[in-house]
Structure 1
Amino acid sequence: MNQWSNFTKGFFKENPVFVMLLGMCPTLGVTSSAINGLGMGLATTFVLVMSNIVVALVKDFIPEKVRIPSFIVIIASFVTIVEMVMQAWLPALFEALGLFIPLIVVNCIVLGRAEAFASKNSVGSSIIDGLGMGLGFSLALTILGTTRELLGSGKAFGLPIFSESYGMLVFVLAPGAFIALGYLIALINKIRRAG
């Protein structure tokens, strides 16, 4: 598999949210707005890329018995960095994402890529894979957040698109996440089958 297809598989063929249905907790929990979705996606991308790099570098030194716990410690280190940086420089986003930032540690996308890809490939390939999967995840969260924000309040990225009287409250609330995600997955599946 060439590097380009390795990068793009996270966007289309193996999108973590729309195709593999991974990382549903942050997907449904934080996407009430486009900014929240983008912020969570980029935070996860950073952790994914950095943990892939470290796992690819140290994979030969980690005993088989402690492989998964070691990966979790590596991931947790980068999540702590993200959490501290976000708390210092982006306090509003930090407050909006809340508990979902520390939960990146147990996000199945991050641990899955460390185990399935980075532990078996080179550093360069692991960076490409982490970027592709992370940016695909970011794209999915941003699309879902934009959809929910637009339908729920008539805004996108906080900017008014429709009049103030527009908006369906259900899309800003938890049930709206399930409804919007279901329709987006159906749309993506229809596009993938047509192409």
Structure 2
Amino acid sequence: MITRDEFKTIAGNGIWKQNTSIAQILGLCPLLAVTTNAVNGIMLSLATILVMALSNVAVAALRNLIPHEIRIPVFILIVAALVTVVDLLFNANLHELYLVLGIFIPLIVTNCIVLARVEAFAAKNPPLQSTLDGIFMGVGMLWTLALLGGMRELLGSGTLFGGIDMVFPSLQPIQLLPESYPGFLLALLPPGAFILLGCMIAWKNWMDARAAARAQTKPPTPVATAGCH
């Protein structure tokens, strides 16, 4: 079983405090390469969440059976097997999107986010907590890639959810800016991704600094004392 405090800690760390993209700054290759629109970032993040959750629970369940000396190769084999399954599922069911994401689905095997959580958390904790850690670390990656991809797409082409028809054929991208909008090419190029990611990191640091300042200025809670009779 897991307590409410454990759940809140795992969720808070994954989504915000230890966010893999804007706090730990891990997995920059897929972060910068596939976020030319929100759909690409979301779908790669969902694939990563699935791999992280399943690899974490597998490692947590087998952690006492894996010799310490060969743990890293075993972890990589587990992750590689799961990534192969996800890769084949994308190829079979979302082939157009699979071609767009390209090599970055197989590269989940070497994604330092996945291996870092397997080694740092799953190898030391029970299966349930490890599964939740994988899910929420993936959710942190999901909202980061979705936001970065959305900003790049909006600035670059004036649309949102471009390529959604590759996932849901009945849907079309949302045209938020006028069709005459010429587009801002820098946003779609790697330098634009670096600049926007830097802005997101600065925003997170500013939010954390504000929260710390509020915590310091908050008056202490009065302690109840027993009255004299």
Provide TM-score, normalisation by structure 1. Answer: 0.97
Aligned to 1:189: 205
Determine helix, strand or coil for the equivalent of 1:68: helix
Partner of 2:107: 103
Q: Which residue of 1 aligns with 2:175?
A: 160
Residue 176 of structure 1 and its aligned partner are, at CA, apart by 1.4
Question: Which runs of 5 or more structure 2 residues have no equivalent in the other structure?
Answer: 163-173, 212-229
User: Which one of 192, 217, 221 corresponds to residue 176 of structure 1?
Assistant: 192
Q: Percent identity?
A: 46
Match of 1:18 in 2: 22
Q: Hey, which of these two has a bigger chunk of helix by percent?
A: 1
Q: How many residues align?
A: 195
Kindly provide the CA deviation profile for residues 92-150 of structure 1, in whole angstroms up to 9, marking residues without a partner as x.
Answer: 21111101111100111100110010010000000111111011111111111001001
Match of 2:97 among 93, 101, 110: 93
Choose 76-85 or 1-10, whichever is displaced more: 1-10
**How far apart, in 2, do the equivalents of 1:92 and 1:182 lie?**
31
Distance 1:176 1:96 in 2: 20
One-letter amino acid matched to 1:35: V
User: Relative contact order, CA 8 A, sep 6+: which one is greater?
Assistant: 1
CA distance in 2, matches of 1:164, 1:120: 53
Equivalent-residue separation in structure 2 for 1:90 and 1:191 (angstroms): 37
- For 1:109 and 1:6, locate their aligned partners in 2 and report how far apart those are by CA, in whole Å: 15
**d(CA) in 1 for partners of 2:157 and 2:180?**
8
Q: CA deviation at 1:165?
A: 2.7
Higher-Rg structure is 2
Task: Let me know the Cα RMSD of the aligned residues.
Answer: 1.0
1:61 is matched with 65
1:37 aligned partner: 41
Per the normalisation by structure 2, the TM-score is 0.83
CA distance in structure 2 between the aligned counterparts of 1:74 and 1:38, rounded to whole angstroms: 23
Q: How do 1:112-127 residues align onto structure 2 when only pairs under 5 Å count?
A: 112-127=116-131
For residue 60 of structure 1, give the secondary structure of its aligned residue in structure 2: coil
Q: Which amino acid aligns with 1:160?
A: Q
